Structure 1
Amino acid sequence: MKIALWGFYGHNYGDDVMLNIIIDYCLKSNIDVEVIDMFDGCLKETLKLKSVKVFNWKNSNKFEKINKLIRLSKNNVINIWGGGTIFTDTEGDGNYKIFKIIKILGGKFGYLGVGIGKLTSKSRINKTSYLLGKSEITVLRDEDSYNRSHKYSSNNDKLYLAEDLSFIYFDKLEKNIPIIKKDSYILITWRNLRNYMSSSEENILMKKVVDYSIRLKKNKGYKKIVLLAINSVSDTKSCIELKTIFSNRGEEVVFNENSSIVNITKVISEASFHFSGRLHGSVASEYYKIPTLSLSYSPKIEYFYKSINRNNFVDIFKEEITFDLIDKITMDNQTIDFKEKVKSAHLNFDYLDNYLNKGKRHE
């Protein structure tokens, strides 16, 4: 059976990590896979060395899109959305419109390694219920999402739980690329928050992080402060704003603009302290044992920290950042064993294998 792979690929670190892992799985398993480039993420260039087919959805006309959907609705194709918080109020809606058309055309779809975010909108809840009810296979990446999915789905025998796919990537990279700490630095990976608060509110939060970063650098004797955009579109704008605020404070910072997943992982893994704004920045940071304060804008960050029994985050809508918390994190020598999470992450592919093998028997 062929896989058509959909996702938020091309501009966001966490999603591109998922893409990397899923493509590797398909190639090793001799599965015919085609990636749908929904957001003009230059995926054809990114994946050319792996010889993976890519269809540029965003730059295709209406006729080309309809023709592609007809082809992807054939009996020997499963459309998979891979990774990300896909069921939310404000962002992902499960790829509702496209997957509904595929279903109407007689096609199949599913989800691999996905999460459920804040979901209160009646319209979004109805879309989620429809999609989970029609999905061939849905693998949720955290226990909270898995438990909530049962509330929305009438198809509970096709819901599965496995750890986030990113753990496979970090485990693989750690075994192949040694981490060498050359400089001591504070890293800030800011998540653009314009969908969650006003620009003035975000600016106030930025200034607090800037002031605490300068204070921490001085207290600990770190050599520099580095800014890194985990989303190469929206977060880049935030990094530029942060750089201006630092400059106004008389502090020159480094803006690392290399958005490759290898570089982002390297910069995170070699940091001395990390102010993290996105889930997979935090996951990478905790995996590589970097002292981290995560700025939680979504329940998914709290879910992650609950799963590793740590409280290295602040709910930016309810809590204040304090230097006491930052200081406490820098002195925390607790280590976390991620072996079980890596093992559980591989369950994503065990469940998918089982589904694909059933499909082969019915072909």
Structure 2
Amino acid sequence: MPSRPKIQSINPATEELLAEFEPHTEAEVERALGEARRAFRSWRSSSFAERSTLMRAAAVDLRREKARLAGIVTAEMGKPIVEAEAEVEKCAWGLEYYAENAERFLAPEPRASTARESYVQFTPLGTVLAVMPWNFPLWQVFRFAAPALMAGNTAVLKHASNVPQCARAVEEVFRAAGFPEGTFRTLLVGGSAVASIIADPRVAAVTLTGSEAAGGDVAARAGAACKKTVLELGGSDPFIVLEDADLAAAAATAVRARYQNTGQSCIAAKRFVVVERVFEEFQASFLEGVRALRVGDPRDRQTLIGPMARDDLRGALEDQVRRSLAQGARVLAGGQRRAGRGYFFEPTVVTGVRPDMAVASEEVFGPVAALLPVRDALEAVRVANASPYGLGSSLWTSDL
């Protein structure tokens, strides 16, 4: 029988192999799902006070271990250390938020009816499978786990395969806080194992943050089994700048909004839709800010742009830029990978972009900004809406 490939943790800044893990066997997955199901039988009956106490303990542990956990994030997926520390803090805040508010959120809701008493009651589903991405390897998991666990569910995690140390660290946080065994389990498995886990009758629901293709597959499999799903499938947020905007403030914010997490964020601004009358001025200010971004070792507290998380992702980004240039766009800054070790890609500004070009019509997951000139506010809205993607948008004007 052929051996299964190991799950590797590779430092994207140095290309060093940090660790290797044997993927969980079918028997180990079976055991984990059994533990989660058994834990649910008692966890569902625990009080909100009991759950809240444990959740707050986990938040304390996160803050106590902030330096260590942030170091794992930085080493494993290249997030600049200052941003990694902020991610850990955000996770602790998220746990405290649901510890404080879950009981109120889940209180029965009275409904008017002809019956003596009618209300909507919220009850736990069971074990929830989370398929989570690498770009916010702690936050994406804790923002799912906190409300799920506070609602009385148990959870199993299938994390992105390039962040196994982060995946293990999350389970360790819940275990150290005193959560009952099996309440939260990490499964070190490849993507091919997800289908059978979804189909398992002990899994009651599925959530995924990831690509449209992965989300479609998960939704189809969960739907076939009549299981609830929550999906978040990426974004290409428009950043609209009208002629009466504060251009200095807009440009400064635009740089931060695009290049956070080395541009690897679903909620980052990606398409900068600017009316022609102020396009050149905005472009100049934006370009100045981008050229000031410091690229380098993500462990350095002065670094603002680290490596991309994987080399294949860098290659895909490079291809999007190349295809856009072939369609008539121009590069004002960057546009290529950085020489040397590590999966670095220079902070890039592409101008003269049309909505049909790759950097505007596709989700761009890396440090590339697309600048799209438009005639007026009406065209700006039309161009902003010319995308199948969410997740948000911003409008810069002084006339609201």
Q: What TM-score, normalized by structure 2, do the two folds share?
A: 0.30
Q: Which structure's relative contact order is higher, taking Cα pairs within 8 Å and 6+ residues apart?
A: 2
Choose 1 or 2 for highest CA Rg. Answer: 2
Q: What TM-score, normalized by structure 1, do the two folds share?
A: 0.32
